[in-house]
């Protein structure tokens, strides 16, 4: 077994361990708990959404880093999550004002609005990236877009009713608790779609990392590859954001963990381990969120930010060094 295979094996084992740990009852008989409605309707969807959400965000990050040929790209830092958040804020506010059905709004309209916001940000980033291709400009534009959409969300919440603000604030904390079993279908659908795009174009994406000239000389269209990367990364990030709230840093960190394990940027090697690393991060955050305090649940987003922020600073320091 090679070093890479060894690491992959341990990540897999860790992921299975975390799944079991997250599914384990906090008290009482495990068999009885696994047969209860609480398990089937609440625990199972929560653990599955954390797992699928982590995989989707990991892949979304991998695709964005490929798209911008920049290891610091991730849904949160480049502004996709704030864009999706803006879409959700808009529908939360307009939903009840227009008398939209809550279930319809939750299952269809919010994800579509999040998707719209995500595509908008990604288009702006791409347009600017053509002119400013330095690594840090991507983050700066992401920061500026984050501020812009943050301000737009502030204006929306200022005019919203107290209930809508409450809904939106709770959504913003990020949680896998709110996901219903049936909502796993679109979540899983978007993740499978992203996974298929990554797997199908894995060799072409490797060439894309070398530059557009290499893609064209290999007889492929760089524009078409870019479109696939945009569709895949934005869809996965937006759907996870719509259903679970803004989940930060997973998309940025998971591909890095994977590359560290695999020792290569080759997509065929990183698809599986990025998914494992993403799932590992979100499941760990979910376990911490639900088990740190006996009578409270911590916000998943806060936990991931506490883990993620120092890691990003470390990565930036390493890159500049």
Which of 13, 20, 30, 38 touches another protein (CB under 8 A)? Answer: 38
Q: Phi and psi dihedrals of 68, rounded to 5?
A: -95, 0
Taking the least distance from each CB to another protein, the nearer of 39 and 149 is 39
69 sits near another protein (criterion: CB under 8 A): no
Q: Evaluate the CA torsion angle 305, 310, 315, 317 in order and state its sign.
A: positive
Q: Going by C-beta distance under 8 Å and a sequence separation of 6 or more, which residues neighbour residue 25? A: 33, 34, 39
Q: Of the listed pieces 167-175, 202-210, 261-269, 306-314, which binds another protein according to CB under 8 A?
A: 167-175
112: its two tokens: 């579509």
Restricting to residues 215-254, name those near another protein by CB under 8 A. Answer: 245
* Angstrom distance (rounded) from CA 193 to CA 185: 12
Residue 34 burial (10 A CB sphere; 0-12, 13-18, 19+): middle
Restricting to residues 116-155, name those near another protein by CB under 8 A. Answer: none
Taking the least distance from each CB to another protein, the nearer of 38 and 309 is 38
103 sits near another protein (criterion: CB under 8 A): yes
42 sits near another protein (criterion: CB under 8 A): yes
259 sits near another protein (criterion: CB under 8 A): no
Q: Of the listed pieces 190-198, 213-221, 275-283, 287-295, which binds another protein according to CB under 8 A?
A: 287-295
Q: Count the neighbouring beta carbons within 10 Å of the beta carbon of residue 289.
A: 25
Q: Are 7 and 243 in contact (CB under 8 A)?
A: no
Nearest C-alpha neighbor of 112 from the set 88, 131, 128, 129 = 88
53 sits near another protein (criterion: CB under 8 A): no
202 SS3 class = helix
Taking the least distance from each CB to another protein, the nearer of 26 and 320 is 26
CB of 41 to another protein, least distance (A): 5
Q: Are 236 and 60 in contact (CB under 8 A)?
A: yes
175 sits near another protein (criterion: CB under 8 A): yes
Chain contacts with another protein (rule: CB under 8 A): 37-38, 41-43, 46, 101-103, 158-159, 163, 166-167, 169-171, 173, 175-180, 245, 289-290, 294-297
């Amino acid at each position: 077994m090679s070093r890479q295979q060894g690491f992959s094996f341990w990540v897999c084992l860790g992921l299975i361990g975390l799944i079991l740990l997250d599914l384990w009852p906090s008290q009482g008989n495990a068999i009885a708990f696994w047969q209860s409605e609480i398990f089937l309707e609440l625990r199972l969807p929560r653990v599955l959404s954390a797992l699928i959400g982590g995989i989707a965000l990991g892949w979304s990050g991998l695709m964005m880093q490929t798209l911008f040929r920049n290891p610091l790209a991730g849904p949160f830092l480049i502004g996709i999550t704030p864009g999706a958040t803006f879409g959700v804020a808009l529908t939360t506010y307009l939903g009840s004002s227009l008398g939209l059905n809550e279930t319809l709004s939750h299952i269809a309209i919010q994800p579509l609005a999040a998707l719209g916001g995500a595509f908008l940000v990604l288009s702006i980033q791409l347009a600017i990236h053509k002119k400013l291709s330095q690594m840090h400009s991507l983050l700066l534009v992401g920061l500026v877009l984050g501020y812009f959409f943050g301000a737009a969300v502030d204006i929306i919440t200022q005019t919203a009713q107290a209930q809508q603000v409450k809904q939106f604030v709770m959504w913003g904390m990020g949680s896998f608790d709110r996901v219903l079993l049936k909502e796993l279908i679109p979540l899983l659908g978007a993740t499978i779609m992203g996974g298929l795009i990554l797997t199908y174009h894995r060799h072409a994406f490797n060439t894309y990392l070398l530059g557009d000239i290499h893609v064209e000389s290999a007889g492929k269209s760089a524009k078409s590859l870019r479109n696939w990367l945009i569709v895949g990364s934005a869809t996965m990030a937006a759907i996870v954001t719509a259903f679970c709230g803004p989940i930060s840093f997973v998309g940025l960190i998971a591909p890095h963990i994977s590359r560290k394990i695999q020792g290569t940027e080759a997509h065929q090697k990183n698809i599986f381990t990025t998914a494992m690393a993403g799932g590992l991060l979100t499941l760990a955050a979910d376990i911490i969120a639900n088990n740190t305090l006996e009578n409270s649940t911590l916000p998943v987003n806060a936990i991931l930010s506490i883990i993620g922020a120092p890691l990003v600073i470390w990565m930036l320091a390493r890159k500049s060094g």
